[in-house]
Amino acid sequence: MALPKLFSKRFLGIDVGTSAVRIVELEKSGHNIELTNYGEIKTANTERETLRVTKKAMAFFSVQEVSDIIKAIMEEAKIKTRQCAFSIPDFSTFFTNFRLPPMTKAELSEAVMFEARQHIPLPLESVTVDWQLVGGQFGSASQGAASELEIVLAAIPNEIVQQYKEVARAANLEVVSLDAEVFGLIEALVPDGQTQVVCLVDIGTQSTVCSIAEGKVLKTSHSFDIAGSYVLEHALGKLPLDAETIREIKKKFGLKFFSMAKNEHANMIRGAFLSALESIAKEVGLMIQGYGRLDNKEISKIIVSGGTALIPGVVELFKNRFKCSVEIANPFKDIIYPSMLVPELLKIAPTYTVAIGMARRGLMAQQAAKKE
């Protein structure tokens, strides 16, 4: 007879993206984390003109529609867990980093909020602010040990926070945390104890997030509108195809079209894709250069996530451009799951990075709460 697992706890990570809603259920038992369930529903229609201009979370759907999608996934996957963490998309989060003069720990909080007003283009009363001290040493200007303090700050509009809380209530979920998706990426892809500087490139449908972390500490993050929809549009535009054929490819295949080419035109088709992807690589390069000038540190590795990462040639393009280690995100690699799932999870791993990271953060929060 199988005995119940002692001291085990389950948690949901939910990623509401512009192309899909994804849910991961993880269970922590002892030192192990196990994948107990996962599911997704695709929501994007690449022919929608609004895909290129919308800058709101859950832009295509009402609160009720998003909650219905979540409930449908949970019903199909038979998920019973109710505690969850939502990721907030990068385009709904404002990131900035700045430096402050030497000061005491008691002075820091007030100084951060004063400086934040100079960087956030919204009234502080209208946003939820979270910040971290990521560099420097406390003291005062008169103390030799003191140094400038480096701050990373994130601000999320309160109306976005309220939307997610309403989705949770409608789906009968208990929200434990709402975090910017970059923190899910770091939790899923940077191992505990690692101190190297890594660049995380998450290529979504609507936008790309480029973040640099030293160990698990976020140093800087930037998003830009060149992403999967841009790559698809521009790559197809480089091919000798009529408008009707392009519409059919978008509708039936999307970006998968570029990994399906096996005929005599394969090199031309993949070449068009890689040429369009160069625009993303250029933005990443600017980010890495800026960080190098500021911190005088080199990037040890680039990790690419998102559905675009699965198309052949992506790793080689980044390797050739940046001359460093490059890998495709696999957030499942230190999680326990049945061996029969290996082929399937390898196909979807880069797209589940944020959801897995949020579930892991939730499990950590539960564990920390128990110790208090």
Q: What's this model's pTM, rounded to 2 decimal places?
A: 0.86
Instruction: Return the domain boundaries, the chain.
Output: 9-371
Question: How many CB atoms sit inside 10 A of residue 365's CB?
Answer: 15
pLDDT of residue 185: 95
pLDDT per residue as tens digits for the range 315-358: 999 999 998 999 999 999 999 999 999 999 999 999 999 999 99
Cα end-to-end span (Å), the chain: 35
How many CA atoms lie within 13 Å of 114's alpha carbon, on the beta-carbon side? 7
* H helix or E strand, kind and range, residue 342: helix 342-348
Sheet with 208-214, edge to edge strand ranges: 217-224, 208-214, 197-203, 301-305, 325-328
Q: Is the pLDDT of residue 50 over 70?
A: no
Select from 84, 4, 2, 1 the least CA-distant residue to 37: 84
CA distance 304 to 201: 5
Position 364, amino acid:
M
pLDDT per residue as tens digits for the range 215-252: 998 988 988 988 888 888 888 888 888 888 888 888 77
Instruction: Kindly report the CATH number that applies to the domain delimited by 9-371.
Output: 3.30.420.40
**Contact between 85 and 178 (Cβ < 8 Å):** yes
Strand spans (E) along the chain = 9-16, 20-29, 32-42, 83-88, 94-100, 127-135, 149-157, 174-180, 197-203, 208-214, 217-224, 301-305, 325-328
217 phi/psi in degrees, rounded to 5: -95, 120
Partnered with residue 224 across adjacent β-strands are 208
**Contact between 288 and 322 (Cβ < 8 Å):** yes
Select from 86, 90, 24, 78 the least CA-distant residue to 332: 24
User: From the CA atom positions of the chain, what is the Rg in Å?
Assistant: 21
178 phi/psi in degrees, rounded to 5: -125, 115
Task: Please compute the mean of the pLDDT values over residues 255-259 and round it to a whole number.
Answer: 80
Partnered with residue 96 across adjacent β-strands are 153
pLDDT of residue 4: 44
**Contact between 73 and 21 (Cβ < 8 Å):** yes
pLDDT of residue 5: 47
How many CA atoms lie within 13 Å of 367's alpha carbon, on the beta-carbon side? 16
pLDDT of residue 43: 77
